């Protein structure tokens, strides 16, 4: 056994991306395995602008598993974390049993220290849990030598995390098996497929969202008959031609097909329209929940209005919005339209702060045509948008080779900045 | 024929009530006959607080039909008005043909002058078209001597108007006939059935609603797949449950169904493309407040419903009105000098401290413009001055 000098600690640092669903996941058919009631599809965002960074360290000298999130130690016994640790360790043992051992003394029963940071606000609908769990799973797998379907492990930490295991355009097939082995993510197209696609994140408010996703979607499944067929509903349909329009059972499967096609064909009008419709339908099922869940606020709705009026004025679907479980907007558009739309946002949501309003990829300034602002015809709302992150489609999780990026010190404890 | 001295003008004035749907109508299967994709059910409100007043006059000397609404002359050729006039006249001729003539020289081809006023804001989601058309149809029927299914005529002016033809609790059966003869209103229970029921109308804003109902519901039918499912699978069951809840005076069931149906209606608006938003941040705050209040009380004591606008209609029982109104005054303190509380008087009470703490919301000054306190209304249509001969 190596001595105490620090040779017995192994460390890996990874980064993983955020993903924003264009066909939404909302509702589970299995709470423990995190199996969804419908498939979903997302766009992976570029890690230059948004990412989760996780350092994992393993050592026989560690007495217990520990985790620090954004500088604060959290409870390692949280069931989702335990699921991921357990599953990764199971895959490590499986690999040893299969005789495929090439790593050294790393073992599934050594304890790990985990430190994770996001470079964006947590729990405000900016998909932080997806990036966080994907990063954790990827890093642990690299550290401990686990092989296998990693998206299945990430899914058990947080459903949408499985989609962050790949870059580009990713679908999470809902699967049919009760054990969830076929409920996994797969790449639809890589990030190089549609290089003109751009993403603007409009951070409306960094407050915590009023109803967390896990509790929220459980209440929706239990109370919204628009989301999913509820067995006691009396249907007046009699013939074989009748088809219930429940979102999960009837609407999403068709939309998934259309979305995959739109992406493959780089058809922005179809992509955009489907994206907006699915965002609205997701929020509609939240409203149909009892008690109702409101994630959109007046600012979100103003943004929605603005997009529809802009598209109408342009005579095409040029910009699309989508909202997750929070008021922040994610805007999709093509590269050539970004400058004008950003200028429009600055006009209708003038900033009051001194800080940076526009972060991320640079955006050129343009002059707005006068007929355009008139056509939108809304009152400006100062301070409505906190700031904008300009980004694009990006790759999946990456290992960071540079040791200065480790978040844990050489002893495996939280690194304290000088 | 009478001479020119004015004996040849006959006049009738009627009033009609507003109704507030607890199971919502949203979407037509026939735009011309105004046939809905699902049944609906409403509560008729008391005319002491809200009503439409219409005077109709008929004379052989009138050269054309004319109409004034809230003091302004409007276009008589508007298709809905034409439908009502045409249908009433058809019923008048039918009565003459059937040989049932007891009226004098009143004839279906004489022109009419119509004047109508509401004592509440128009087109702000306060069900003004329902009261207006019900009143018009009833007044014309009384004036011209029409008999028959008047709710069917009112329906062709404005769908929900058919429910204003009765008091108490009223359902509009969607019907199955293509000609709409079975798409009519019928009373579920009279207003005397549940005397403890109270209604508070929270007027959030008297602005015009952003998307009118007719265009809005047409877009919803055309684009929302959730709406189709609502109409086919959800509403039929809810109608049965609502009728039962009313018959049994089960407020918890009545209230829960009412809130769920309001939310589902607005959910289908959001599922429309482009999406329609009738609720605003104030509406949503009111919704939150009701849920927190009910949770604190351990029962469904208060229920909300919202039509195609941000104004809230609150249902509750008589004994809970004072406390809930006090709560509204606390969380939506008024900034104006005008009357905040109109209609039926409401006693003042002191709010228990744990209650306001349990609600746990920031007060929003000016969030509510004013409140109308009312109750379920009796006989729908009253005639004033049945005959007025100049």
What global pTM score does this model have? Answer: 0.91
Q: Taking a C-beta distance cutoff of 8 angstroms, is the pair B273, B218 a contact?
A: no
B-chain residues within 8 Å CB-CB of A281? 226, 270-271
Beta strands in B137-239 (DSSP E): 169-172, 185-189, 197-203
A164-212 pLDDT, tens digit each: 999 999 999 999 999 999 999 999 999 999 999 999 999 986 554 567 7
Contact A226 B267 (CB under 8 A): yes
> Given B232, B236, B277, which is nearest A301 (Cβ)?
B277
The angle at the Cα of A402, spanning A138 to A130, to the nearest 5 degrees, equals 30
Cβ contacts of A274 on chain B, cutoff 8 Å? none
Closest CA to B40 of B139, B125, B164: B164
Given this model, what pLDDT does residue A298 score? Answer: 86
With CA atoms as reference, report the closest residue to B171 among B264, B221, B118, B241.
Answer: B241
Rg (alpha carbons) of chain B, rounded to whole number: 22
- ipTM, two decimals, is 0.89
Rg (CA), chain A: 22
Token pair listed for B134? 């019900």
CB-nearest partner of B232 from A237, A250, A251: A237
Query: Measured between alpha carbons, how far is A368 from A340 in angstroms, rounded to an integer?
Result: 7
Q: Are B372 and B206 in contact (CB under 8 A)?
A: no
Q: Which of A145-159, A377-391, B30-44, B115-129 has the highest mean pLDDT?
A: B30-44
Tell me how far apart the alpha carbons of residues B138 and A293 are, in angstroms, rounded to a whole number.
Answer: 42
Give CA A207 to chain center in angstroms: 18
CB contact under 8 A, B267 and A285: yes
Q: How far is CA B92 from CA A14, B99, B141, B148, in A?
A: 83, 11, 8, 9
From the CB of residue A195, how many other CB atoms can be counted at a distance below 10 Å?
Answer: 11
E strand or H helix that includes residue B44: strand B40-44
pLDDT band at A277 (very low <50, low <70, confident <90, very high): very high
HSE of B8, CA atoms in CB hemisphere, 13 A: 13
Whole-number pLDDT of residue A221: 86
According to the model, what pLDDT value does residue A57 have? 95
Test mutation, B242, B261, B275, B296, chain A, max A CBs within 10 A: B275
Buried b (16+ CB within 10 A) or exposed e, A46-85: bbebbbbbbbbbbbeebeebbbbbeeeeeebeeebbebbb
Burial B248-285 (b: 16+ CB within 10 A, else e): eeebebbbbbbbbbbbbbbbbbbbbbbbbbbbbbbbbb
Contact criterion met (CB < 8 Å) for B230 and A226 = yes
Judge: A226–B273 Cβ closer than 8 Å, yes or no: no
The CATH number, out of the four listed (3.30.70.890, 3.20.20.70, 3.30.2010.10, 3.40.50.720), of the domain defined by the range B197-375: 3.30.70.890
Architecture of B10-190 per CATH?
2-Layer Sandwich (3.30)
Distance (Å, rounded) from C-alpha B195 to C-alpha B301?
16
Angle, CA B321 vertex, CA B316 and CA B325 arms, to 5°: 115
Partners of A204 on chain B (C-beta within 8 Å) are none
* Cβ contacts of B237 on chain A, cutoff 8 Å: 233-234
| B188 phi and psi angles, rounded to 5 deg | -90, -50
DSSP string, B45-77: BPTTTS-EEEEEEEETT--S-EEEETTEEE-TT
Q: Compute the half-sphere exposure of residue B345: CA atoms within 13 Å on the CB side of its CA.
A: 2
Looking at residue B213, the DSSP 8-state letter turns out to be: H
Chain A residues close to B261, C-beta within 8 Å: none
Q: CA A310, CA B30: separation in Å to the nearest integer?
A: 32
Residue A85 DSSP SS3 = helix
- Determine the pLDDT at residue B45: 96
Inter-chain CB proximity B229 and A244 less than 8 Å? yes
The residues facing B169 across adjacent strands are B43, B189
d(CA A242, CA B132): 38
Q: Which residues on chain A are in Cβ contact (under 8 Å) with B270?
A: 280-281, 283-284, 287
> One digit per residue, pLDDT tens: chain B, 390 residues?
333 445 688 899 999 999 999 999 999 999 999 999 999 999 999 999 999 999 999 999 999 999 998 888 999 999 999 999 999 999 988 877 776 555 544 567 889 999 999 887 664 457 678 898 999 999 999 888 888 899 999 999 999 999 999 999 999 999 999 999 999 999 999 999 999 999 999 998 655 557 888 899 999 999 998 999 999 999 999 999 999 999 999 999 999 999 999 999 999 999 999 999 999 889 999 999 999 999 999 999 999 999 988 789 999 999 999 999 999 999 999 877 778 999 999 999 999 989 999 999 999 998 998 999 999 998 656 676 554 332
Which of B228, B277, B287 faces A292 most closely, judged by CB atoms?
A: B287
Chain A interface mutation, best of B23, B222, B226, B289, highest count of A Cβ atoms under 10 Å: B226
**CA–CA dist B359, B201 (Å, integer):** 21
Domain map of chain B by residue range?
A: 10-190, 197-375
Of B234, B274, B277, the CB nearest to A225: B234
Query: Which chain B residues are Cβ-neighbours of A294 within 8 angstroms?
Result: 284, 287
A393 φ, ψ (degrees, to nearest 5): -70, 140
Residue B104 has what pLDDT? 47
- Strands in B169-172's sheet, in edge-to-edge order, are B19-23, B40-44, B169-172, B185-189
């Amino acid at each position: 056994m190596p001595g105490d000098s620090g040779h017995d600690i192994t460390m890996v640092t990874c980064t993983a991306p955020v993903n924003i669903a264009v066909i939404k996941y909302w509702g589970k058919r299995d709470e423990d395995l995190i199996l969804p009631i419908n498939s979903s599809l997302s766009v992976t965002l570029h890690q230059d602008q948004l990412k989760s960074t996780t350092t994992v360290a393993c050592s026989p000298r560690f007495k217990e598993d520990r985790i620090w999130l954004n500088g604060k130690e959290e409870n390692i016994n949280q069931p989702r974390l335990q699921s991921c640790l357990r599953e990764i360790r199971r895959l490590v043992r499986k690999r040893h049993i299969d005789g495929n051992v090439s790593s050294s003394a790393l073992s599934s029963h050594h304890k790990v220290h985990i430190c994770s940071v996001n470079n964006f606000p947590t729990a405000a609908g900016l998909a932080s849990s997806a990036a966080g769990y994907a990063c954790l799973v990827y890093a642990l797998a690299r550290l401990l030598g686990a092989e296998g379907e990693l998206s299945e492990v990430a899914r058990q930490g947080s459903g949408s995390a499985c989609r962050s295991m790949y870059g580009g355009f990713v679908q999470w097939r809902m699967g049919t098996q009760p054990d969830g082995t076929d409920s996994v993510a797969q790449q639809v197209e890589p990030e190089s497929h549609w290089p003109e696609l751009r993403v603007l994140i409009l951070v409306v408010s960094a407050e915590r969202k009023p109803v967390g996703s896990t509790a929220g979607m459980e209440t929706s499944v239990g109370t919204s008959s628009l989301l999913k067929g509820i067995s006691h509903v009396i249907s007046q349909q009699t013939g074989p031609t009748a088809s219930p329009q429940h979102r999960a059972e009837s609407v999403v499967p068709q939309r998934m097909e259309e979305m995959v096609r739109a992406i493959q064909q780089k058809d922005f009008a179809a992509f955009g329209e489907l994206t907006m419709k699915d965002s609205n339908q997701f929020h509609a099922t939240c409203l149909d929940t009892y008690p109702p869940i409101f994630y959109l606020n007046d600012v979100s709705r103003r943004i929605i209005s603005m997009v529809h009026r802009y598209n109408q004025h342009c005579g095409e679907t040029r910009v699309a919005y989508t909202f997750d479980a929070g008021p922040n907007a994610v805007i999709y558009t093509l590269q050539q339209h970004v400058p004008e739309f950003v200028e429009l946002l600055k006009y209708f949501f003038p900033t009051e702060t001194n800080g940076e309003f526009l972060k991320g990829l640079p955006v050129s300034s343009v002059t707005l045509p006068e007929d355009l602002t008139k056509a939108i015809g809304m009152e400006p709302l100062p301070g409505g948008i906190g700031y904008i992150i300009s980004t694009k489609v990006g790759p999946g999780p990456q290992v960071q080779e540079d040791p200065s990026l480790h978040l844990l010190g050489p002893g495996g404890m939280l690194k304290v900045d000088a």
